[in-house]
Amino acid sequence: MANCFEYGEKETEYLKSRDARLAEVIDKIGHIERETDPDLFSSVVHHIIGQQISTKAQATIWQRMRESFGTVDARSVANAGIDRLQSFGMTFRKAEYISDFARKAESGEFDPNAVEHMSDEQAISELAALKGVGVWTAEMILLFCMQRPDVFSYGDLAVLRGLRMVYRHRKIDKKLFEKYHRRFSPYCSVASLYLWAVAGGAIPELKDPAPKKTNKRQTAAKTKKNSITVRT
């Protein structure tokens, strides 16, 4: 049975008491099951693989690695080398990042056990120092591996979209984001699960009020058309 992010009535009742609109969302959607990976090493590798590719492509590459290695651990990945990692379908750059991470984990330069006992801020800093891991990826690892309860990512476009849809904002700037961060804390991770669900269409009547982006080509053509001087 897959591991899922653990939360219950304590977290949802707290969020519902803090925000009426989120309460409606929670009641309409019900309990959300999101799969987690409790192993920090494999979680980092999995997240690096998944950057800027589809979920299906990520799953295919990951399945090939698991079939080849059995267990995706530091030793097996470090011994594999970049060429073999690339053969699973990832880019050369990602293979480099993963190989470098495996070497650091194998040598003890990166200590997963130590990271798991750090504060959120310290853990994000430690993870984001790895090649191929930025702040957003580190935050997702905290949530979907370490199951930290208070992760709320301003760098997550789906969270921002969910906030716009639930609260009818055209734009979420940092100041407004922090207002919701304070409101949902210390259970921002659970709030994020529901905002992701909304952003993904779980409540069809909720639409994104963000202004539509203008097509650059159409704008250029319109500008060019309007700038034409009619000679008589």
- pLDDT tens by residue, the chain, 232 residues: 579 999 999 999 999 999 999 999 999 999 999 999 999 999 999 999 999 999 999 999 999 999 999 999 999 999 999 999 999 999 999 999 999 999 999 999 999 999 999 999 999 999 999 999 999 999 999 999 999 999 999 999 999 999 999 999 999 999 999 999 999 999 999 999 999 999 999 999 999 999 887 655 544 444 333 333 333 3
Asked which of 144, 177, 196 is the last residue of a domain, the reply is 144
Q: What is the pLDDT of residue 2?
A: 76
CA distance 14 to 184: 8
Among all chains, which residue has been given the structure tokens 């492509």? 57
Are 48 and 140 members of one domain? yes
Query: What is the Cβ-side half-sphere exposure of residue 68, based on CA atoms within 13 angstroms?
Result: 18
Are 127 and 60 members of one domain? yes
DSSP state at residue 202: S
Are 112 and 55 members of one domain? yes
Q: Helix, strand, or coil here: 106?
A: helix
**Number of domains composing the chain:** 2
**71-107: burial string, b at 16+ Cβ within 10 Å, e else:** ebbbeebbebebeebbebbbeeebbbbbbbbbebbbe
**Which domain covers residue 130, as residue numbers?**
40-144
Bridge partners of residue 35, in order along the sequence: 4
Q: How far is CA 67 from the centre of its chain?
A: 25
Q: What is the pLDDT of residue 217?
A: 54
User: Which amino acid would we find at residue 26?
Assistant: I
Note the residue count of the chain. Answer: 232
Question: Is residue 226 a part of any domain in this protein?
Answer: no
Question: Is residue 165 a part of any domain in this protein?
Answer: yes
Question: Is residue 63 a part of any domain in this protein?
Answer: yes
Are 50 and 96 members of one domain? yes
Q: Which of 47, 141, 39 is nearest to 90 (CA)?
A: 47
Q: What is the pLDDT of residue 212?
A: 83
